[in-house]
A and B are shown apart, each in its own frame.
Chain A
Amino acid sequence: MNVRLNSRWWSFGFRSAIMLYFVILIVLPITGIYVQSFSLGLRPFWDSVSNPLAWKAVLLTLKLAVIATILNMALGTMVGWVLVRYRFPGRRLLNSLVDLPFALPTAVTGLMILLLLGPGSFVGEWAGKAGIDIVFHEPAIVIAMLFVTFPFVIRAVQPLLEEIDASEEEAAYTLGASKARTFFRVIFPSMLPGILSGAMLAFSRALAEFGAVVLIAGNIPGKTLVASVYIFGEIESDNPQGAAAVSIILLTLSFAILWIVNYVQGRRTNR
């Protein structure tokens, strides 16, 4: 009786601690953003959201995040495939390098891209002579987004590739299917949930990128100013309500994406 009572109290305390942690770290800050964005009423909220500079920043962010995500899906799938399926010298080193973007502060990422591609660098000077704009233009933002989101698709695809039953592939080959046909009809469908969930996380992360982008984007309003830097500018200009209004657009998008990721992963688990 006493043991059961104790375990019930433990269970209650444990669940309460988790709920409290969740509320303090996630629910309260998000609620604060929503409250702040409507703090001056609906009209100022709408004015902030419909500001052409805000819209341009959000649309630019969406466009570049989509480009970075598509590149990530292609490169991530290829790298994940090679690292799981092939044995070659340097494989472990490459595999450990994949996680580098998670370990580096994003400001360092921005600095690395600036040193590598900026004015004064070999690539920067060559691109300048060829009339190609990289740093302080959209390509640099895409490169930064690609760098910080690089591990997502790879790390989502790798476990799925390891789980694929070799007998399915062998059966396809035995039945006369070509390598390409086996890949697209047997292997790719198994990898697809991983590619999609990795891509969604990468897209969500690219939308929120600030540290790397602020150093290399040039931050020209209406041209290279992304949403996260716009929000920072609004805070600096003492307009927290305007910053919160644009923030909830990004927040709502991120929520929708996370919901889709959970749905995709849920389907994968139920299979």
Chain B
Amino acid sequence: MRRLWIALTYAVIVLLLAVPLVKIFSGAWADGWSGFIEGLTGRKRCTRL
């Protein structure tokens, strides 16, 4: 039972907090370092629409 509660806690925190956080980091570098720098300096414009 103890293991089940710990596993559930891990699942909740990882799914609700950690995964979105990782996703935003991976999203920021989706186009590599150059894409990240362009996004940061405002030179990157939407090209996917």
Interface membership of B9, Cβ < 8 A: yes
Contact A82 B6 (CB under 8 A): yes
- Per-position contact with B for A81-105: 1 when CB-CB < 8 Å, else 0? 1110010101000100110110000
Interface membership of A230, Cβ < 8 A: no
How many chain A residues touch B (CB < 8 A): the figure is 25
CB neighbours of B6 from chain A (8 A):
82, 86, 88
Of the listed residues B2, B8, B20, the one surrounded by the most CB atoms of chain A closer than 10 A to its CB is B20
Contact A147 B16 (CB under 8 A): yes
Contact B9 A112 (CB under 8 A): no
Contact B21 A75 (CB under 8 A): no
Interface membership of B17, Cβ < 8 A: yes
Q: A78-B12, A94-B10, A97-B13 are in contact. Are A113 and B5 (CB under 8 A)?
A: no
Interface membership of A161, Cβ < 8 A: no
CA distance A82 to B12 in the complex (A): 12
A96-148 CB contacts (< 8 Å) to partner B:
97-98, 100-101, 108-109, 111-113, 115-116, 121, 146-147
Main secondary structure of the interface of B (DSSP, over half): helix
How many chain B residues touch A (CB < 8 A): the figure is 17
Contact A79 B12 (CB under 8 A): yes
The smallest beta-carbon distance between A38 and chain B, in angstroms, is: 41
CA distance A104 to B47 in the complex (A): 28
The smallest beta-carbon distance between A110 and chain B, in angstroms, is: 10
Give A contacts to B, CB under 8 Å: 75, 78-79, 81-83, 86, 88, 90, 94, 97-98, 100-101, 108-109, 111-113, 115-116, 121, 146-147, 150
22 A–B contacts from the bound complex (CB under 8 Å): A78-B5, A78-B9, A78-B12, A79-B13, A82-B6, A86-B5, A88-B6, A94-B10, A97-B13, A97-B17, A98-B13, A100-B17, A100-B21, A108-B24, A109-B20, A112-B20, A115-B23, A115-B24, A115-B27, A116-B19, A121-B23, A147-B17
Give B contacts to A, CB under 8 Å: 2, 5-6, 8-10, 12-13, 16-21, 23-24, 27
